[in-house]
């Protein structure tokens, strides 16, 4: 019954500070279970959203991003056969991503943002940073789950990939893996370790 899914965030950063962002949730490995679970109203006391509700959530998010300053070419994919969902956009500067995340947080005041994610890029020092801290509400909610439900998050993987036009000189996070090509970096962690702050995916990259 163990269920697993991957969350992947990818950022392609150009020298001028603009770039592309893509978030993917891939639940394909659990698709047969999800197909059954989605026939239910609720599962283990958690309400199961309908396909329409999932679609509406992603549509609303896309609409919101389209209206956000500095973001353009918003794209989304919804695939209920493979259970893969993506949302992506182009940005003028990483600050535009930060503003959108902040605005989303304010918009959903009842449902606080699921994590504190922020980017910074300094053209002059060629330093790119990604900050990530799970928020306390999520941590508390996670700890409230029973052991079986927690186990599902052990198998859920969070992957963060950043690609650059220049070569990477140095990464602050020791767990960061630089690609063979030398201009991309990847950080992976189980969702459980992220939520429990056993793994840190905050990273500052010094570019050449």
Partner 1 sequence: MKNYILIGFLLLSFTAHSQGVELNIPSNASMVFEINSPALIKAAPYEELEKSDFGKEMIFKLSKLFQQNVKSFNEIGILTSESSYIFLDQSTDQPTLVFLFPIKDKDLVERAIIFNRYNIEEADGYHFSSGPGGQSFYWNDKLLTIVQHLNKNSQVVPTQNYLSKATKSISSNPSYKKQKDENATFSFWIGDMSSALPKLTGALGNMSNELNDKMMSSLYEGYESLSMKMYLNKNESRLATEMSFNESVSSAYRNISKQKYNAEFFEYVDLKNCLGYFSSNINVKSLLTEYPAILNNQLEALPESNKYKSEIDLGMVLFSTLLDEEAVGDIIKGDMLFVLSDISEKEVEYTDYEYDSTYQRKEVTKTKIERVPDFIYMASLKDGKLSKATISYLLNKQLIEKQGSYYKIVPNKSVPVDLFMMIKNDILFIGTSVDRFRAISAGKYKAQVPSKFKDHINDNQVAFYAGVSKAEASLSVSDFPNKKRFAQFKNLFKDSPDVFFTAEKFKKNSAKGSVVIKTPKGHTSGLTYLLHLIEELK
Residues forming contacts to partner 1 in the complex (CB under 8 A) are 1-2, 6, 8, 10, 26, 28-29, 31-32, 34-35, 80-84, 147-148, 151, 161, 163, 179-181, 183-186
**CA dist., res. 129 & res. 120, Å (int):** 5
CA 192 vs CA 48, 57, 186: distances in Å = 21, 24, 18
Q: Do 40 and 148 form a contact (C-beta atoms < 8 A)?
A: no
Q: Which residue's entry shows tokens 């950063």?
A: 13
Q: Do 139 and 199 form a contact (C-beta atoms < 8 A)?
A: no
Please count the helices (runs of H) and the strands (runs of E) in the chain: 6, 13
Tokens standing for residue 144: 């409230």
Task: Identify the three-state secondary structure at position 51.
Answer: helix
CB of 164 to partner 1, least distance (A): 10
Torsion angle of the four alpha carbons 203, 199, 20, 125, in this order, in degrees rounded to the nearest 10: 0
Q: DSSP state, 49?
A: P
């Amino acid at each position: 019954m163990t269920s697993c899914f991957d969350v992947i965030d990818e950022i392609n950063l150009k020298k001028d500070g603009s770039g592309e962002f893509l978030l993917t949730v891939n639940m394909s490995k659990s698709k047969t279970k999800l197909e059954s679970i989605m026939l239910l109203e609720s599962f283990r006391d958690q309400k199961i959203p309908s396909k329409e509700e999932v679609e509406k959530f992603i549509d609303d998010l896309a609409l919101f991003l389209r209206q956000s300053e500095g973001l353009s070419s918003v794209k989304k994919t919804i695939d209920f056969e493979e259970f893969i969902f993506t949302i992506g956009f182009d940005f003028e500067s990483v600050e535009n991503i930060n503003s959108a995340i902040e605005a989303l947080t304010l918009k959903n005041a009842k449902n606080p943002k699921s994590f504190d994610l922020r980017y910074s890029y300094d053209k002059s020092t060629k330093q790119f940073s990604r900050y990530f801290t799970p928020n306390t509400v999520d941590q508390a909610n996670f700890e409230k789950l029973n052991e079986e439900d927690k186990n599902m998050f052990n198998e859920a993987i969070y992957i963060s990939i950043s690609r650059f036009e220049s070569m990477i000189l140095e990464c602050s996070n020791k767990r960061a893996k630089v690609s063979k090509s030398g201009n991309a970096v990847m950080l992976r962690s189980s969702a459980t370790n992220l939520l429990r702050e056993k793994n840190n995916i905050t990273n500052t990259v010094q570019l050449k």
